[in-house]
Amino acid sequence: MKIAVVGTGYVGLVTGTCFAETGNHVSCIDIDADKIKKLNAGTITIYEPGLEPLFQRNLHQQRLFFTTDLAQGIKGADIIFLALPTPPGEDGSADLQYILKVASELGGLLDHYTVVVDKSTVPVGTAEKVNRVIAEKAKVPFDVVSNPEFLREGVAVDDFMKPDRVVIGSASSQAEAVMRQLYAPFVRQGNPIIFMDVKSAELTKYAANAFLATKITFMNEIANLCSLLGADVDAVRQGIGTDTRIGKRFLFAGIGYGGSCFPKDVQALSKSAQAVAYEFDLLKAVMKVNDQQKEKLIEPIETFLGSFKGKTIAIWGLAFKPYTDDIREAPALANIQLLLEKGVNLRVYDPEAMNNVRELMGDRMYYAKNQYDALEDADVLMIMTEWPVFRTPDFSIVASKMKNKAIFDGRNLYDLAQMKKLGFSYHSIGREFIEN
């Protein structure tokens, strides 16, 4: 099949590359000329494990193309995916300007029946708006369907190639047949393609992300209660996670969620509810708690140090999660901004995200060569992201580099008994504070 993907961000580039991998011819379109130039030259523009080999193979075998020309990119396409950003507007609702702008251009460009697919995470009713905008100029039949993505950064390729389900919202049997054919190679093991009405498909993605964000936030609230009661959140997690009704995933306590999806989607769903005069109070609480949770280590660090002014703090982890360079809404950024305002000297390290932080915040901190370089003369170490390289460090090197043997761990990476034995002061989330 001939496929066009409009947008070459995380979702668009993964979508285009993975469809090319199953033999389709895919054109990816973006208005960023520099990005398109890099992609055509074989330089991948995002970090996503497993994506680059697929990208290089399909580029070299001429199944994957990149252009800034929308008309050229969609020429002959059976399916056009809209994988465009939907950032929060001033009021927190999803901003649809990029999607609707492309839709307005598509109408006059279509020359045969085409399925237009909303791949972006969009509020209920977006497909109707896209349909209406395209129809204003369209001279040929078309269908607009919703096909929300459920990709997790860090494992997005695996999620796409082996989906646990494919959700498609459509009112057209013709569009349904086209989408079923497209996804057939990805569901050969029997995982379902779930067809539903368009509005339900649009809501499904928001509902999934909001539920997971709520689950994380609930566990963080339990962790905060554990700290006050003298309980251990890891023990509680194991105790409830074995209940099949609850499940083991998304129960790890920490300093809150970040990324491009959970914060934006929870906020957008809350705004969508308000638009129909429904106050989604649970989501308001989730957002409030998560904002507070991101800064949960600041007070105990200040208590430990006595004062922040003139102190040096090392930070391990800048990305919002491991296996990505994405820093959008990352808890590390909120902490960095706060610490800089308090006059702290920062030494930071992340395996993949440092260039993105430097572009955003400049040279207001020291970007370390490796995790141990970040520790030089540091008063304390903060852990913001659970990269595997941070899980089993050489603690003798850690101790030798730092002024104080003090770790404030926002991801609960280390065993309490080990920290006590090694003589570290160790503060984690929802567990005993080890003071040495």
**Which tokens go with 377?**
């003369």
**Which tokens go with 314?**
């090392």
d(CA 151, CA 163): 9
**Which tokens go with 392?**
């089993």
81 neighbors 15 (Cβ within 8 angstroms): yes
Based on the residue annotation, tell me whether 261 is a catalytic residue of this protein: yes
Which of 192, 184, 186 is CA-nearest to residue 162?
A: 186
**Which tokens go with 158?**
């695996």
Q: Are strands 380-383 and 64-67 parallel, antiparallel or unpaired?
A: unpaired
Torsion of CA 376, 379, 380, 385, to 10 degrees: -40
Distance of alpha carbon 336 from the chain centroid: 20
What DSSP element (H or E) covers 127? helix 126-135
Angle at which helices 126-135 and 198-229 pack, to 10 degrees? 150
The SS3 call for residue 178 is helix
Which of 310, 287, 118, 323 is CA-nearest to residue 213?
A: 287
**Which tokens go with 224?**
């905060």
What DSSP element (H or E) covers 409? strand 406-409
Please state, as a whole number, how many other Cβ atoms lie within 10 Å of the Cβ of residue 50.
Answer: 15
Task: List CB contacts of 37: < 8 A, sequence separation 6 or more.
Answer: none
d(CA 378, CA 178): 58
Angle at 168 between CA 165 and CA 170, to 5 degrees: 160
Given 18, 28, 226, 261, which residue is catalytic? Answer: 261
Catalytic annotation, residues = 261
